[in-house]
Amino acid sequence: MTMNRTVASPADAPAASAALAEFVAASRWEDVPEAVRHQARRALLNFFAVALAAARDPALDIACRVYGRHGGGPPATLVGRPQRADMLNAAALNAMMANVYDFDDTHHPTIIHPSSPIAPALFALAESRPVTGAQLLHAFILGVEAACRIGNAISPQHYARGWHITSTCGVFGSAMAAARCLGLTPRQNVDALGAAAVQSGGLVEALGTSAKSISVGNAARNGLLSALLAAEGFDGPQRPLDGERGYLRVVADAPAFDAVWRGLGERWELLNNAYKPYPCGVVLNPVIDACLALAGDPRIVDGGWRNIVRIELTGHPLLRQRTDRPGVTTGRQSQVCAQHAVAVALVRGRAGLPEFSDQAVADAGLRSLGARLAFRDDPALPVDAASLRIEFSDGAVLHGQVQAARGSLARPLQDGELEQKLRELNRHGGANVDADRLIEAVWSLDAAGDAGAVVRLAAGVSPDGNKQGGRQ
């Protein structure tokens, strides 16, 4: 997902930190277009959907138990769980829940999943002090703008180096969103950026493991902490982003400083955000689309797939680089594995959370079919496109091709599809949340006097019916 960009001259570089800080402090709600506001509501709807899905995930059980032993302060809501946690840990845990299944939103130019680290920080903050729905939406939009513009400045080299860009840039989005809610000055915003910069981290190597979500949780928690520290006078460098040894120069060879500030308030990054129909790496979406379109073919149904001798998958080189993972052994790993995604979509004709589970990965037939996959790189193809060539033992051949994946910017999920996603993932996670009430609250968030009341609608119900249990 490369982008056209120009590298700013050195004279432009000092503007980046100050310009972003000034914009976040000075932005007016009335200047945010309705299309951007609507996209923010869609993003928050998707956030609740994917967080609810993971509410009972064993990895989150461990995280909630460990974090809960070491927290302190007034409690805040954990999405899909009756337990509560202190504000900072609630931000971290809710971010981990939203990201753990790789079902979260995607900023297509950078592959940042912006809502997971930003929304949890804001909802945790909104339970500690008065924040209206409009204030939270505005802060969320500005946080996404900050994270994605910083991502634009360092893409694609940053991700290619192995940095997990959702985590590394998400901490800046969380910091600026929280800073806006706290009413910080431009100078304090620069300090918050500095505190966030020294806490930025996350590795692509961790994809397919629970450890990946730790850095997403840290992005939410540490961004919120950065803003809280700046509000109390905790200072930082004058140019945390664009200084001689500032963040952008450290994590990228040729950062485009002007990508941070050029067009602020005129071009909104949230409009480049898309929502996944499948719980896996976004580069697999066109692959799954192509497989699902072929799954009903008479040559494949009723066990016919066992006669497949070779599957050739053609896509952008990033597809192979990120998803050529033969022999995965866990559902988590299967979320970034083309061999599994192709096999399960062809054989089962579905691609939901059960198809990316430990049980599905253990299916010997799926493992055998996945082993017949071969990649072919085509740099001319966009990341949202893919094609399949399936060869059978009798010489028959099937072809499948997708030019734009479902859920991409060219074929976005509609509002009703996002609502249905929330309902389905709420059922999957077993949180027993009143999904329709939560959906209505998100759509009407602009008018809410208490944004914290919205996240409390997402608190899970324990077996005894208690919705607000003690801190775990």
Give percent of the chain with pLDDT exceeding 90: 89
Query: For residues 244 and 115, is the Cβ–Cβ distance under 8 A?
Result: no
Query: Is residue 154 scored above 70 in pLDDT?
Result: yes
pTM: 0.92
Report in angstroms the alpha-carbon separations of 277 from 110, 111, 173, 195, 282: 19, 16, 24, 35, 9
Domains along the chain with CATH numbers: 15-274 (1.10.4100.10), 282-402 (3.30.1330.120)
For 21-35, what is the mean pLDDT?
98
Query: For residues 69 and 21, is the Cβ–Cβ distance under 8 A?
Result: no
Query: For residues 335 and 101, is the Cβ–Cβ distance under 8 A?
Result: yes
DSSP structure string for 144-156: HHHHHHHHHHHTT
pLDDT recorded at residue 160: 87
pLDDT tier at 13 (50, 70, 90 boundaries)? very low
The more confident residue out of 110 and 465 is 110
DSSP structure string for 34-54: HHHHHHHHHHHHHHHHHHHHT
Query: For residues 55 and 82, is the Cβ–Cβ distance under 8 A?
Result: no
Give percent of the chain with pLDDT exceeding 70: 94
Q: What's the distance, Cα to Cα, between the start and end of the chain in Å? A: 40
Query: For residues 110 and 155, is the Cβ–Cβ distance under 8 A?
Result: yes
pLDDT recorded at residue 462: 58
Query: For residues 124 and 160, is the Cβ–Cβ distance under 8 A?
Result: no
Query: Is residue 5 scored above 80 in pLDDT?
Result: no
Query: Is residue 467 scored above 70 in pLDDT?
Result: no
Q: Is 277 helix (H, G, I), strand (E, B) or coil?
A: coil
pLDDT tier at 15 (50, 70, 90 boundaries)? confident
- Give pLDDT tens digits for 407-432: 999 999 999 999 999 999 999 999 98
Query: Is residue 469 scored above 80 in pLDDT?
Result: no
Instruction: Tell whether omega for the bond before 82 is within 30 degrees of 0, i.e. cis.
Output: no
Query: For residues 190 and 240, is the Cβ–Cβ distance under 8 A?
Result: yes
- Give pLDDT tens digits for 357-411: 999 999 999 999 999 999 999 999 998 999 999 999 999 999 999 999 999 999 9
pLDDT recorded at residue 6: 44
Q: Is 390 helix (H, G, I), strand (E, B) or coil?
A: strand
Query: Is residue 247 scored above 90 in pLDDT?
Result: yes
pLDDT recorded at residue 292: 98
For 274-282, what is the mean pLDDT?
94
The set of residues, in sequence order, having a beta carbon less than 8 Å from that of 422 and lying 6+ positions away, is 45, 46, 48, 49, 52, 435, 438, 439
- Give pLDDT tens digits for 93-141: 999 999 999 899 999 899 999 999 999 999 999 999 999 999 999 999 9
Query: Is residue 91 scored above 80 in pLDDT?
Result: yes
pLDDT tier at 190 (50, 70, 90 boundaries)? very high
pLDDT recorded at residue 460: 82
pLDDT recorded at residue 14: 47
Q: What is the dihedral of CA 367, 369, 371, 377, to 10 degrees?
A: -130
CA–CA gap between residue 229 and residue 232 (Å, rounded): 5
pLDDT tier at 195 (50, 70, 90 boundaries)? very high
Query: Is residue 243 scored above 80 in pLDDT?
Result: yes
Query: Is residue 8 scored above 80 in pLDDT?
Result: no
pLDDT recorded at residue 465: 52
pLDDT recorded at residue 466: 56
What is the phi-psi region of residue 181: left when phi exceeds 0, alpha when psi lies from -120 to 50, beta otherwise?
alpha
- Tell me which residue of 165, 82, 164, 177 sits closest to 124, measured CA to CA: 177
pLDDT recorded at residue 461: 67
3-state helix, strand, coil in the chain (%, to 5): 55, 10, 40
- Tell me which residue of 49, 162, 102, 57 sits closest to 333, measured CA to CA: 102
